[in-house]
Amino acid sequence: MARYEIFVTYKQGIFDPPGATAERALANLGYDEVESVKIGKYIRIEVADGPNEMARVAEMCDKLLANPVIEEYRIVDAEGSVSVR
């Protein structure tokens, strides 16, 4: 069994409504140092050991877990290796 952690975030230039709202709310709370807030998704996935694990997890992201039109993702495996798309 191998565990992968996936972080899905909006691509550069895509408006992030929850992030923008949190940004304003933090400013209202007096955190003047906040320059930007981006909110995304965290997905943890466990797969049976097999060949091309990382590539298959990336395929899962392309197909279902992320929308390539607006989102990008970063996959981190148990050893800390990272795959970004």
How would you classify residue 6: left for phi > 0, otherwise alpha for psi between -120 and 50, otherwise beta? beta
Q: Is 70 in the site for another protein (CB under 8 A)?
A: yes
Q: How far is the CB of 53 from another protein (least distance, A)?
A: 21
Encoded amino acid at 60, one letter: M
Nearer Cβ to another protein (21/81): 21
Secondary-structure percent of the chain, ordered helix, strand, coil, rounded to 5? 30, 30, 40
Q: Which residue has the tokens 């290796």?
A: 81
* Residues between 2 and 21 with contacts to another protein, criterion CB under 8 A: 14-18, 20-21
Q: Is 85 in the site for another protein (CB under 8 A)?
A: no
Nearer Cβ to another protein (69/79): 69
